[in-house]
Amino acid sequence: MNAPHVMIRASAGSGKTYALTNRYVALLAAGAAPERIVALTFTRKAAGEFFDEILAKLAGAATDPARAARLAGEVARPGMGPADFLRLLRAVIEAMPRLRLGTLDGFFGRIARAFPLELGLAGEFEILQEHAARVERRRVLQRMFNRAPGRGGLEPEQREFIEAFKRATFGTEEKRLAARLDAFLDEHQERFQGAPEGERWGNPRRIWPDGCPWLEPVAGRVPAALADLRRGLAARELTSGQRTRWEVFLAACEAWVPGSPVPEAMEYLLRNVLAVWPEVRRGVAEVTVERRKVALGPAECAALTVIVTWMVGGEITRRLESTRGIHAVLAAYEQVYEETVRRRGRLTFADVQRLLLPEESGVALAQSEGAGPDRLSIDYRLDARFDHWLLDEFQDTSFGQWRVLENLIDEVVQDPAGGRSFFCVGDVKQAIFTWREGDPRLFGEILEKYNAVAPGTVVEQHLVTSYRSGPDVIGMVNAVFGRADVIAAMFPGAASAAWNREWRAHHSAQPALAGEAAWLHAADDEREARVLELLRRIRPLERGLSCAVLVPTNAQATEYAEYLRRVGGVPALAESDLRVGCDNPLGAAVLALIQSAAHPGDTLARGHLLMTPLGAVFARAGLNSPDAVSERILRQIHHDGFEETVASWVQQLEGSLAPEDHFSRERGRQLVEAAALFDATGSRDAAEFVAFIERHAVRGAEVAGVVRVMTIHKSKGLGFDVVLLPELEGQRLDQRREGLAVQRTAGREVEWVLDLPPKLFMEQDAVLRNHVQEAEAEGCYEALALLYVALTRAKRAMYVLTRAPRGSSSRNYPRLLAETLGTDPWQSGDRAWYEHLPVVAAGANRPETTAAEEPVTAPRAPRLPARRPSESPASAVPAEALVSLEAGGLRAADFGTAVHALLAAAGRSGAAGDAGGDAGAWPAEAVAEASACFGAPDLAEVWQRPERGEVWVERPFEIVLDGAWISGVFDRVVVNRGPDGAVERVAVYDFKTDKVQEEEALAAAMRRHAAQLQLYRRAAAVLTGMAAHAVQAGIVFTAIRRVVRVP
């Protein structure tokens, strides 16, 4: 086959999914095997829709000759008929387990799972979801702040961490340090992972290679300069107001320290001096004070130069220090996190992506260092497996994601035979996720790269015909964004140049579709009422029309939905993230209950609890003390799990609800579902459950027959008959995002990181000023893209509501609309466009559900209690067994861990005489005991490897036995197979480091561990297909070098 490489810039509503699915079908029709095509997007929902559409196209063409002929023409295979498409449909269905239609994150995870050793991983790993990642973070912080036993003070590294945190936060006092650290890591951790080297953080030599004039060391000259300026001003003729200004300024300078807020009186004169800074530096200047000029001579200018240089330089220096403090905090945290989380195979999606980055990117994880040749071998093997690449929503692809795929796609594009292909589709005008590292510049850079050597290698196509929106909506879109002159004048520089370069006039594929587009003026306090008025006039739901209200934030979505329901009686649903455990009294009561159980001393939670109907329940049950309530709830959680526990208490509370309180009942149901999700983690930690619920969010469901209220970001990819945009106000569009300044090279490598000083100081430095201008241009482009997304959601009618423009110079949405549409209200189309659509009875547009169509609820699978073999009652360990083995020796648990690790390392290598290649890393007594076990004649059978068969070493397993979910790890299992491959003999060995020199101690240890070995025997029997009685089980006591059989 010879499919061209194609890059499609698909404007809103122009058929992006249609183009993608047609490309996929065209590849199948040309002979491509389904499993050799990779199609990737960003969400599971989008991937599912993509797959469904492929199946629908093939199935339709397989059953309808007319549809087959149409599809055959679209994929340039005019000779294909229903039988051919049926063959393709069968091929896709048969290949479903091997298809690569999914998300980028999912694809990267599958690569890592396929090549763990090549990536430097020890073996299997787990992808952490948000809650699990939060739990690991909390454990890392606890580990960092745990004090050594018997020591009252902080360790040196703990003091260093706290000092670094003070530097990073300007020494701000914080009562809730844990919460502050959590927010701190949320804000900065991702930037650290992209540039972990300390030399890039707050390093003046990297920021100002040619030096920074503000960093001249003048602090020691400031007192003299203040005195000189005071003497010079005393000789000047000043008005009383001017003299007061100078006196206040000088007094403020004496009290001010870099890093503290600048008082208004100080800022006033500082700003005016900086306005004539070049003249001040030259020695003669006129400074405006109280609307009059004050002439300053060489002496006053010299003093002012010292003072202002100290102020600006001091503030910059303080920010350099805080940036280095931020890095120190993050580096300390990451070191512990690396050792305790990642090295145990618990990774986030971001970790997986960094593992897959080419070595030269310089941001690989620690455990992948030195894996360069292995990393390249992964690319070779993947390249041999896949021939065709389809990438969706390419404007949201990050540079890091592209770097993972770049080698593979390079090979496809350079294929001399022309039998492989690359296809990507997206729209840089809809690049509204740059805050999530989306990089719309990749579109142009990749096109230029591939076409530089051979022009026309990648064919660029523009789709500008909207199959979604009618002519009036498209007319308004063209009127706003087609004014390149206005956009360039309002936003001079890179943002407007990039936008105007991408813009092309749009067209509607439905010129006869009646509708309306309007920009209406409404004061802030009138806007909700105007939205309700429009809905009552158009009556979209009664006419069977879909309708959405789009706003910038989730909070606004909730407010509008509540207003429409409460005041207008309009069925409206906020499709925002719902905190189902926190936004209602019932959920708050249940959380107070679990919090009281976790922390009986929490008087606030208990006070809350006693004010709910549960207070009376506890009184009747005689649970009058916090400890009694805690014991009751914790026992219930341990026995039943959180789902059943929460359900039982929700049921108790529902009896106190008003009959019409459907909202609280729905929240109760959602809270129980959230508890079931938490149960899936296997945890029974009540405090962890509270933290989980406090963060748990449920996305509002898509429901027909309601007005959908959502953020503009969430509306991307959706279309509605009627759209209302009532909150396009806000701040100026050309604003940089808050946070650390990160300067990057053209290759996206981080040059430097800095916590920027306030605007007044930052604007005085050319390097910082240029960085901010670039960041403002990026913010402006994203703001224009957000407006474009908002204006292209409507099919028939769109209504934008803002304040009436009043000659404002602010670079915001209302001014852009005024500059492009005029200052008066603007309208296009038929104001009565909806009147020809019949109004039906409320709810008549919703399909009825007959008895035969009622949803079928599958019986719930029972939730099994989780157990570990070592939790058998007989395996309890006496307290004295946990103390030191000998004076000055290891703790028993640590000693056992070391011996197990050494035995496992040698067991994997097969070198039975070697106690692990890294024995030097373990305590000498553990190495000695492990080595003695390898040389013991009585243990020879344990180390013998079968001629045919395999040995399992430290192999984890999950199995259900006797109604319980058993999780365990085999220390060593020897499986012997016959000539035909069938299992003939199985022996399970478990290593124990108990001190059992006496026969009585040995007998006690056998009683303690026998139940665990019986479970291991049964698990091994199930996993190997042997009868349980035929599986041998033995406990290897390492202290006496002896294996004891378990009957």
Contact 928, 902 (CB under 8 A): no
**CATH code of the domain occupying 866-1045:** 3.90.320.10
Q: Which of 259-268, 467-476, 704-713, 958-967 has the lowest mean pLDDT?
A: 958-967
Averaged pLDDT for residues 563-591: 87
The tokens for 21 are: 């699915």
What is the pLDDT, as a whole number, of residue 858? 38
Whether this model's pTM surpasses 0.85? no
- CB contact set of 333 (below 8 Å; sequence gap of 6+): 140, 141, 144, 185, 189
**CA-closest candidate to residue 431, choices 393, 482, 462, 468:** 393
Euclidean distance between the first and the last CA atom of the chain, given in angstroms as a whole number: 66
pLDDT in the model for residue 444? 92
**Alpha-helix runs per DSSP H in 257-340:** 264-275, 277-282, 298-340
How high is the pLDDT of residue 867?
61
**Residue 876: its pLDDT value, please?**
42
Euclidean distance between CA atoms 545 and 834, whole angstroms: 10
1036: nearest Cα among 934, 883, 892: 934
Over residues 715-744, the pLDDT tens digits come to: 999 999 999 999 998 778 888 888 899 999
pLDDT one-digit tens code per residue, 845-887: 443 333 333 333 334 445 556 666 765 554 444 433 333 343 3
The domain made up of 5-121+359-463 has a fold known as Rossmann fold (3.40.50)
Q: For residues 519, 522, 527 and 529, what is the CA-based torsion angle, rounded to 10 degrees?
A: -100
The token pair at 915 is 């106690």
> Which region among 595-609, 670-684, 891-905 has the lowest average model confidence (pLDDT)?
891-905
Residue 573 near residue 708 (C-beta atoms within 8 A): yes
Please write down the long-range contacts of 679-682, taking CB distance under 8 Å and 24 or more positions apart: 679/641, 679/642, 679/643, 679/863, 681/131, 681/132, 682/866, 682/967
Which residue shows structure tokens 């999912």?
Answer: 106
pLDDT at 372 over 60: no
| pLDDT (average), residues 156-177 | 67
pLDDT band with cut points at 50, 70 and 90 for residue 757:
very high
Nearest one of 615, 625, 576 to 593, comparing CA atoms: 615
Nearest in space to 754 (alpha carbons), one of 244, 346, 315: 315
| Mean pLDDT calculated for residue range 591-611 | 90
| pLDDT given for residue 120 in this prediction | 79
What pLDDT was estimated at residue 851? 31
Taking Cα atoms as reference points, which of 776, 774, 964 lies closest to residue 867? 964
Rounded mean pLDDT of 290-314? 94
**Rounded distance, CA 676 to CA 670, Å?**
10
pLDDT above 90 (res 840): no
Residue 879 confidence (pLDDT): 34
Q: Give yes or no for residue 180 having a pLDDT over 60.
A: yes
- Stronger pLDDT, 869 or 499, i.e. the higher one: 499
The predicted structure's pLDDT at residue 197: 94
The pLDDT of residue 91 is above 90: yes
Element at 742 (helix H, strand E): strand 741-744
Supply the pLDDT for residue 359. 63
Least confident of 11-25, 826-840, 916-930: 916-930
Distance CA 519, CA 1010 (A): 79
* pLDDT tens digits for range 960-983: 888 777 888 899 999 998 887 788
Whether 282 and 306 have beta carbons less than 8 Å apart is answered as: no
User: For 403, what's the count of Cα atoms within 13 Å in the CB-facing half-sphere?
Assistant: 20
Longest dimension (CA), the chain: 110
Question: Which segments of 926-963 are extended strands (E)?
Answer: 949-961
pLDDT at 371: 47
Q: Residue 154's pLDDT band (boundaries 50, 70, 90)?
A: low
Task: Give me the residue label for tokens 């971001």.
Answer: 350
The tens digit of pLDDT for each residue in 331-355 reads 989 999 998 998 888 899 999 998 8
Residues listed for the chain: 1047
Q: What secondary structure letter does DSSP report for 438? A: B
Q: For strand 421-426 and strand 5-10, is the pairing parallel, antiparallel, or unpaired?
A: parallel
Q: How far is CA 907 from CA 178, 911, 991, 1012, in A?
A: 42, 7, 12, 22
Q: Which residues contact 1011 (CB under 8 A, 6 or more apart)?
A: 869, 872, 873, 874, 875
- Would you say residue 751 has pLDDT above 90? yes
Token pair 């067209």 is found at: 507
CATH of the domain spanning 471-576+705-829, picked from 3.50.50.60, 1.20.1530.20, 2.120.10.30, 3.40.50.300? 3.40.50.300
Predicted local distance difference test score (pLDDT) of residue 3: 67
